Chain A
Amino acid sequence: MRSVENALGLEVPLNAQYIRNIIMGAHAVHDHIVHFYHLAALDWVDIVSALKADARATAALGQKLSSWAGNSYEAVKTSQDKLKTFVASGQLGIYGSGYWGHPAMKLSHEVNMLAAHHYLQALEYQREINKVVGILGSKTPHIQNVAVGGVANAINMDSPTTLNMERLYYIKTLIDKVGDFVENVMLIDTAAVGAFYAEWTNYGAGVMNYLSVPDMPMDTKGTVFALPGGYIADGDVGKFTAIKSYNDSFFRDNVRESIKHSWYDGEWNKHPWEEETVPKYTDFQDNGKYSWVKAPNFMGKPAQVGPLANVLCMYVAGHAPTKKYVDKALALVSSLAGAKVGIGALHSSIGRIAARSVRCAVLYDTLKTQWQALVDNIAKGDVKTFNPPTFPKGEQRGYGYHEAPRGALSHWIVIKDGIIKNYQAVVPGTWNSGPRNHTDAPGVYEAALVGTPVADPEKPLEVLRTIHSFDPCIACAIHLVDKDRHEIVRVKAV
């Protein structure tokens, strides 16, 4: 959508920007909650140990850590009983393959139980905030309200079948409801897991070139954004360059993708507008081609994308809500760990998880301001949601970017005489899971695994912790090879 708008020089009405922003924010809050509690937490939390917890002690711990009303003894007891009944049924299903009792599981019964309790509660909150996406986007996850030039939502406060006051206040109610959970449960839980697994601040940093794009445009042209973005080279916050607009050449001219180690014909490293991807499968070649994923690179180097990159860039750019929540999370980690923990600790697997919670809280704040901006704009009498596109003769090139839940995403298009001539999507999953690039520099996942201790090579839970910390959006194979280069185990992280 944005790539076509960029190619055509088409402005997007303010209402459409705000509606898109609210959808992006609500979707990302939902996504971050699901990722932490349902797709990553069980790498750190032992459900079987949780069954042995004292429910009263668990509730007391929860109440000490947070003002969350859902940490009552009765609520914790209900969750624990539910789990006990489930386990007693003997049909463990998807939980049967978990790493219960693994030597790398270090939390107390009570901390495990508190996390398991929130695992169940989180299901409810991800559903609630996702309703915002449903109201504006028609259905989820495949929303169907966006159009080149704006959105298909009609705004009419005096019609029963359009975006009207009832719909707007339903959205506001849902946004308000999720705030308490994000600030007083999720942010606290990730800080607690970080503090209790403090040694994990030493593992999983990998590539420390961080790329993030600005998002939530506040004007029709894409020059003012609610959330800043940019590039940090070598993990050095002094080397930050902001990306300023939808036409910023710093981003546009520095993205390339290499296929030297990917199952496509050729060995090139090209700008997305110039790429032509022709599949050519060879099976696994240790030093040749070994992945369907291309190797994106920025200024010739691999770059890490995702909430950590986003939070670091926003922090360096002086974004106040980001600073507020980073400082809050680090203060809690420091107090629980009994030692001062600084922002440097974020360059790690556990830091990546903490950054996702910080981003989730920032997005909650931003959702409130986006909703207010939409209502204020409608109050001014502006009901415009769409600028119709026209496709001229000749060739146009465009690109559009978005800071997605898993990081910087960009789409690149070449249009000729109104028909798509080339289209390339450079997505967060490829930035992070790409293989070695044109200079044989390791990809982001690959680099992050170097130096990770593995207690039991048959059950390399530690590897999963790091891979899952990126929130992989693909089922990916990880092949662990010992120093004699015999493959010892394959792990599929999803």
Chain B
Amino acid sequence: MSDLKDYPDIADGIEKKGISRRDFMKFCTGVAVTLGLPFGMGTQIAEAVLNPKRPPVIWLAAQACTGCTEALLRSNHPTLEHLILDLISLEYHETLNAGSGKQAEDWLRKTIKENKGKYILVVDGSIPVKDGGIYGKIGGKTMLSLCEDMSSQAAAVIAIGSCASWGGMPSADPNPTGATPVYQVLQNKGIKTPVINIPTCPPNPYNFLSTVLYYLTFKKLPELDDKLRPKFAFSRLIHDNCERRPHFDAGRFAVQFGDEGHRKGYCLYKLGCKGPETHNNCPTLLFNDVGSGAWPVGTGHPCFGCSEKGVGFTVPLHTPAKLKDITPPVNFPGIAEKRGKGVTVAAAAVVAGLAGAAIGAGVATSKKLDKKKTGSESKE
């Protein structure tokens, strides 16, 4: 990245906001890396966040436990205070509002009016729709009517957490309140505002922050998968990036908490780990900025699929996961071949039939390697 002194306007802006240049550029670069963007994109992000008018964000809490908000309190890069004092203008958030009742509701009406069509609406919690929505009301209005009304006037809606994204825990059988995800509420009403789902219980704060900053920077939504989830966070199975994957491939499993395999950090598949059928970036992003192993599998507990509809809060904790696309190999390829001639590690994976599951560029790379390997073999 070019030096910040090449951008005197930005540099001045940051200093006025009380952030050191170094911290600020570190943060922007961090965001760019999280999003998988070219290194220099950090500067573009810096310009967007220094836009003098901080973009308005309105947060609606529906049938939720406030855990998604709690998760945001844990964020270190950026911190919650940088987010709401410097980056966005958080206009309304029931837990964090300084005012309550009439004062808070008046402010909400005012800000919706002033920012119509421009604000980002964040919803945490599912929407109770049964019996006309009586199971959740705010200031006498149902969460259902508030969600419809506020999303129809928003530029985009971010459904944060598993509840808002696909129903989550409140939608578990027998779903007494008719807990419904936000995108479904909008579909039912024909509301066209784009929706982004960020499931997980709680969501990793960086998946939320990166989505917001992506939108602010590029004025468009990140690429989404068929479940409306950002690809930068949800395009891979947990199983694909799990640090315990080599144990799975080698058939080394923990069978009970505290047994020898568990105390050696073996694969938790036989304890019911849902990593093989859950899309998320937990193993690469980790939680709480505390270094290695800070995610469920890392501490020794199987993934329970909290971000995946039909898995989390649905399939029992210790029931084995469905293996979507990968089974452990019967034989392993030789890796340490003669120097200069042998197959590469990546090519070895191709031989084992493991890279077949890789998508996009991954597949293309595999093909090239395949050709190379064939070539070298024919020479031999």
Contact = CB atoms under 8 A, between A and B. Distances in A.
Interface of A: 34, 38-39, 42, 47, 78, 81-82, 85-86, 89, 91, 93-99, 120, 123-124, 126-127, 130-131, 133-142, 144-145, 147, 149-156, 159-163, 167, 170, 279, 281, 292, 383-386, 388, 458-460, 464, 473, 475, 477-478, 489-494
Interface string B29-55: 000000000000000000000001110
28 contacts: A39-B95, A78-B18, A82-B17, A89-B54, A91-B53, A91-B54, A93-B84, A93-B89, A96-B91, A96-B107, A97-B99, A131-B290, A136-B299, A138-B299, A139-B282, A139-B296, A140-B71, A142-B201, A145-B301, A150-B257, A154-B254, A161-B265, A281-B134, A388-B256, A388-B257, A490-B102, A492-B104, A494-B97
A134 B73 CA distance: 13
B170 to A, nearest CB: 13
Interface size band for B: 35 or more
A123 B81 CA distance: 8
A473 B202 CA distance: 17
Best-buried of B74, B96, B99 by chain A (most CB within 10 Å): B99
Nearest to A126: B73
Best-buried of A39, A130, A383, A478 by chain B (most CB within 10 Å): A130
Interface string B88-103: 0111111111111111
A386 B255 CA distance: 13
A139 B294 contact: yes
Given A86-B85, A138-B299, 19 more contacts: A89-B52, A89-B54, A91-B54, A91-B89, A96-B91, A96-B98, A97-B97, A120-B81, A123-B73, A127-B74, A131-B289, A136-B299, A140-B202, A141-B71, A464-B100, A489-B102, A490-B101, A491-B100, A493-B100
Contacts of A167: 293
Contacts, number: 209
B334 interface: no
B258 interface: yes
A95 B90 CA distance: 9
Given A85-B17, A89-B54, A139-B288, A489 B101 contact: yes
Interface in B11-39: 16-18
A387 to B, nearest CB: 9
Contacts of B201: 142
Contact of A85 (B18, B70, B104, B139): B18
A294 to B, nearest CB: 15
A22 B69 CA distance: 23
B294 A135 contact: yes
Contacts of A384: 258
Nearest to A278: B176
A279 B130 CA distance: 12
B88 to A, nearest CB: 8
Contacts of B3: none
B319 interface: no
Interface in B136-152: 138-140
